[in-house]
Each structure stands twice: as structure tokens, then as C-alpha cells.
Structure 1
């Protein structure tokens, strides 16, 4: 089987549940953490295949525009304070610059907000709260100096009442000097909070649909107690190393019960070749974990 990464993928004898031919859907979802996510299982804990989650429309574009389809991402500021938590406020405006106040839930949330530095570090995924006037507030954790991009992912309706799923973004800065973080090399494995996540499947090619699997283990044993998070057993978001293009990885099916895992299945379609930084978020014991891994796309 072709490798998912640059180097041949070797099975680990210490990791149980490495899947050989599986699937992982690459489209991007959001939350308030860092890590890898975007996987889903049925009530038996086995991967659910065949259908994406209901109500999860695919946004058009790469998420790098501030305006699309007549809607605009309008933040109150494009600068954040360094080294301290802050409240980032913004609106989504429509025709005539009026604030949009009607949104459709996507994975249980009306708005997904992401923040990431240009070196693909400092990832944050939050679900802002909207005031009656259409102003959203995202409570950000402290950010280190550098240039960032803020993304809003949402679904609203156009004048004809048709759903419009969008990802809009703007560049924001955090003043000060800070060294960049080198992008970790592509790998088939990553760890977070004692959990090991292993990628399996064919090597991904840009613009083509492939199967990818994320398998979760701990202490060499398969994990089968993943809890629902945003109606799935994991949430997966990707960012392109070249230009920060955004991809939301949609899982198949819907989570039911606290017994997801160990293999999480997706169908991956990443639009551009090069390195992608994937953030996987999953929940166990009421704690949300965020893992990150670099994936090479041919």
C-alpha cells in the first residue's frame, strides 16, 4: 500500500489498532483547543462509513478570503495583545453592511472560530457567542507575538433562503518579537496527553479523494471510550503550510454513546499539494484533547 507520508509507513508492534485501509474525510471543523480531530464511529465503536454527518455542508474556497457570496468577515480590530487573554469581537455582514444575525447550526454550533500563527503554531478553536446586534465574541487564550490568521466558519442563508456555508478569514497581528516555530516533519504518528494517534491509508494526492484513518491508543491498548464532541468522536481541521489555506475534515456518521474508537474513519480530499498541519480534537472523561500532526500531500 502506498505510504500516507513521505517515508514508508511501518506498523508499530506497540500500537494496537493501526488500520491499513481506512478513510478520513478532510474538510475542516472547529472548536476551542489544539490537536487532531474529525473522526466518528457508530454505537458499536466501529467506523461509520458511507455518509457525512447530516447538516454539514461543504464550504467553498480555501478560507483565505475575507468576503464571499455577498458576506464579509468584519472584525473590530486586527491586532491582539501579546501574552494575555483577549476578547476578539467581529460581525458577519451582508448586503449594505448590515450585521447578519441568522445562522444555521453546524456540528451543534452556530459559529466556529479558529486562530493560528503563520508558522502553524498557536492553534485555537473556539465557539463564540453572538449578541443581539450580531456581534460575536471569541474569548482567546494568550497569544505569542507574530502574524496570525483568524477564520470564521458558519452557515447562513442568502436572499433566496438557500444555505450558504462559508469560511472567511482575516490576518491579525500580535505585536512584539518571537522566534518562529519550525514545522515538524511529516509523520504517521503523534501523541497528546498520553494518547497515541496513528494515521493509516493511501498517500494523499491533491484534489483527489482518498481514505484515511486515525487510530487512537493509550499504553499500547486500543481506546474505545471516546465521548461525543460536536456530535462526532473527533474534530479535524487542516491548514496548508504554504499559504494557510483551510480544510475541514468531516467525519462519517454521528456519535452515539461514550464508546467511540479506536479507529476513526474519514474520506480525505485536500485541495493543494505540500505539507498540511492537521489538528485532531477528541474527548475522553470529559476532557478535550488536541493533537497535531504534519501530513504530506502529493
Structure 2
């Protein structure tokens, strides 16, 4: 057998090295090798029911802050514009549960939740928020563009802000099957403190009970529905909203409201269920683990 000269071995080695580099380059440029395009096996192409508020820009719309909270207070002014694809401020949207814009505020430890409805002042939306403690917060604006083809998927834009001063962080409560909604009302998850699946449509059930422990038969209208639910991933601070499936005016079976949920990420979520009864608005809070 003829032996290869050292120069031939060197040439062969260089050829192998070039081939390996080429293969690695192709793999890194392919969708399989890129985390930005990788989809888990069996996962739907869209991982969330709508935009999640992790960005101030979505579908050509941009959240433009005008006045951002920087101090503590019971009525700290907030002002912002929604800039559209044309570059001009947008002031007209489709009604979303009787409102043009829903505005949410939450601190990174899930404290200080507020659900507000800013008023339009020229081309600027204005409201006031209560900031009881310092810390890192995020505010969200949710709206449905007039030309959207899917009214069930609002645009949600989010912007972070920080308030200086002492901050008393609070541990997120563990998952529980029951929550005090105030005014003698209690909300119970009939299935207990069970987990929810990630990236899969799931139904969440909540039974509202009065001071006597009996399920309520009816609720007052709240934003044109039986209630409203907002959820936040406790790590990412991504937002998701849910509306009850029961049509307004329909009787409540066992005092239950059911919500269709689609969670895009694993982890803990803090859910805020709002409803109206006895002329007052009540809120129940739940922690749900998504896996």
C-alpha cells in the first residue's frame, strides 16, 4: 500500500477542516439551528393568544410615553400617545368591553395592580395611578385597531418605569384554590390549585360565592360582561387577558365563570379576576403554575 506524503496529509486535513466549518455554518443559518425560529415539537405557530406587552412596538403601533410616574402618590399623572403605522397619533379604536383603551399597571412582585381606562385629551391619553411604594413597574395599553380582522386579538403595548424610594417586596403567594374577593365574596377554583398547560388552549373555572357560602346566581354587568381577567407572568411580566365565556344576561351555573386561556410561556402567573356585585367592584387574585 502506497504511503501518503506529509504534504498530502496536510492537504487532506485542511479539506476536512473546511468541510466541518461549512457544515456548522449551514446548521447555524438554518431554522433548526436558530433559537429565534425554533418551534417546539407539536407547538402551534402562534404561542400566545395576542401580543403580550413585552414591547412598546407591535403591528406598526408604538407606545409613546408623555408623562411617566416617577414618584409615589395616590394620583400620579400618566400620559401617553399611541403612534400608528403612518407615524401619526391614533385616537380611534374599536370598543373592547365598552372601552377604547384598557390600561394596566403592575409591579414586578405582582403588587400594585390597577386596571384603568384613560381619557383622550387631544391626541394624548391621560389617567392617574396610585403608587404606594417604590420599585420596578410596567404599564400596558391594550386596544383593538379599527382595521383589524380579528377583534379577539387586541394589541398590547408595554413600557417599564421605576419609582425611587423604599421598596417592600412581597413574595408571590403559592397556587391556591380559594381567594377572598372582598365584601364577603369568595372565589373558588372547583378543580383546585391545578396547573395549566403551556401553549395549549385550556379552560379556567372560577365559582363566585356570597357571604353565606352559596354560589351567586347573577352578577352586575362589568365592562359589558360578567367579568374581566388579566394575567401576568411573574418572571417576564408578559400580560394576557381573558373574558368570560358566559354571555351577559345568561344565568350562572353554580356561580361559575369560565375563561378560555392560552399561556405562551411556562412559569408562575398571577391572575386578577374582576367582577361587580352589590354595586361594587370586587377582585380575586390567584397564582397558577403553567407547565
Asked if these proteins are the same fold (TM beyond 0.5), I'd say yes
Partner in structure 2 of residue 22 of structure 1: none
Partner in structure 1 of residue 142 of structure 2: 153
1:295 Cα shift?
0.9
Query: Unaligned regions of 5+ residues in structure 2, if any?
Result: 1-47
> Structure 1 runs of 4+ off > 4 angstroms?
161-164, 257-261
What is the TM-score with the length of structure 1 in the denominator? 0.74
Larger helix share, 1 or 2: 2
1:97 Cα shift?
3.2
1:142 Cα shift?
3.6
Q: Secondary structure at the match of 1:294?
A: strand
Map residues 1-298 of structure 1 onto 2, 5 A cutoff. 60-95=50-85, 97-131=87-121, 133-157=122-146, 165-193=154-182, 194-201=184-191, 203-218=195-210, 219-256=212-249, 262-298=255-291
The answer to which of 271-280 and 192-201 deviates more is: 192-201
The answer to which of 62-71 and 245-254 deviates more is: 245-254
1:260 Cα shift?
8.4
The answer to which of 263-272 and 114-123 deviates more is: 263-272
Q: Name the Cα RMSD after superposition.
A: 2.1
Q: What is the rounded CA distance, in whole Å, between the counterparts of 1:102 and 1:163 in structure 2? A: 17
1:163 Cα shift?
6.3
The answer to which of 249-258 and 91-100 deviates more is: 249-258
Q: What is the rounded CA distance, in whole Å, between the counterparts of 1:251 and 1:141 in structure 2? A: 27
1:143 Cα shift?
3.3
Q: What is the rounded CA distance, in whole Å, between the counterparts of 1:70 and 1:290 in structure 2? A: 33
Point out which structure has higher relative CO (alpha carbons under 8 A, 6+ apart).
1
Q: State whether residues 118 and 125 of structure 2, in contact with CA within 8 Å, keep that contact through their aligned partners in structure 1.
A: yes
Q: What is the rounded CA distance, in whole Å, between the counterparts of 2:158 and 2:252 in structure 1? A: 35
Over 3 Å counting, the alpha-carbon distance change for 1:261 and 1:255 in structure 2 is farther
1:83 Cα shift?
3.0
Over 3 Å counting, the alpha-carbon distance change for 1:253 and 1:197 in structure 2 is closer
Q: State whether residues 128 and 136 of structure 1, in contact with CA within 8 Å, keep that contact through their aligned partners in structure 2.
A: yes
Q: State whether residues 188 and 208 of structure 2, in contact with CA within 8 Å, keep that contact through their aligned partners in structure 1.
A: yes
Q: State whether residues 72 and 130 of structure 2, in contact with CA within 8 Å, keep that contact through their aligned partners in structure 1.
A: no
Deviations 1:64-107 (A, max 9, x none): 11001111001113333213311201100123531112211001
Q: State whether residues 228 and 257 of structure 1, in contact with CA within 8 Å, keep that contact through their aligned partners in structure 2.
A: no
Q: Secondary structure at the match of 2:89?
A: coil
What is the TM-score with the length of structure 2 in the denominator? 0.76
Larger radius of gyration: 2
Query: Unaligned regions of 5+ residues in structure 1, if any?
Result: 1-57
